[in-house]
A = this chain, B = another copy of it.
């Protein structure tokens, strides 16, 4: 594979990340497990593992966690696991991730007009409901 130092958000295109995720799956012959339903289940499981790092943690403790390198590394790793599984699902669905995100942000802009929900989660929750 390419040198790891080649991968930075400012210069990595999504296709390269998708390929890294696909290579991992190919090398393990796991494609047959990667149907959309089981991938959705796995994304939810990994999301819960990320959330578990904050279980019973009070808000002021959360801020302290951000200054603790070990905790930050664990958060980064669990978040990466969620994203890797999302890349797997994108690969299985054969969709363009960038287009999916751009289109959904446009849709969210229409659903949650800035002037209506500015600084106010309650308005957001009502519109969502």
- Which chain A residues (1-60) contact chain B, with CB distance < 8 Å? 4, 7-15, 17-18, 20-21, 24, 27-30, 32-33, 35-38, 40-59
Nearest CB to that of A113 among chain B residues? B28
With the chains together, A77 CA to B45 CA distance in Å?
A: 18
Q: Is the interface of A mostly helix, strand, loop or mixed?
A: helix
Q: Tell me, rounded to whole Å, the shortest Cβ–Cβ distance linking A3 to chain B.
A: 10
Query: What residues of B have a CB within 8 angstroms of the CB of A24 in the complex?
Result: 105, 108-109
Number of residues on chain A facing chain B (CB within 8 A): 87
Query: What residues of B have a CB within 8 angstroms of the CB of A7 in the complex?
Result: 98-99, 101-102
When A57-B37, A86-B83 are in contact, do A9 and B96 touch as well, CB less than 8 Å?
yes
Which one of B50, B84, B89, B107 contacts A40 once the chains associate, using CB atoms below 8 Å? Answer: B50
Contact yes or no, A9 B20, CB < 8 A: no
Nearest CB to that of A119 among chain B residues? B29
A residues within 8 Å of B by Cβ? 4, 7-15, 17-18, 20-21, 24, 27-30, 32-33, 35-38, 40-59, 62-63, 65-66, 72, 75-77, 79-84, 86-87, 89-90, 93, 95-109, 112, 114, 117-119, 121, 124-125
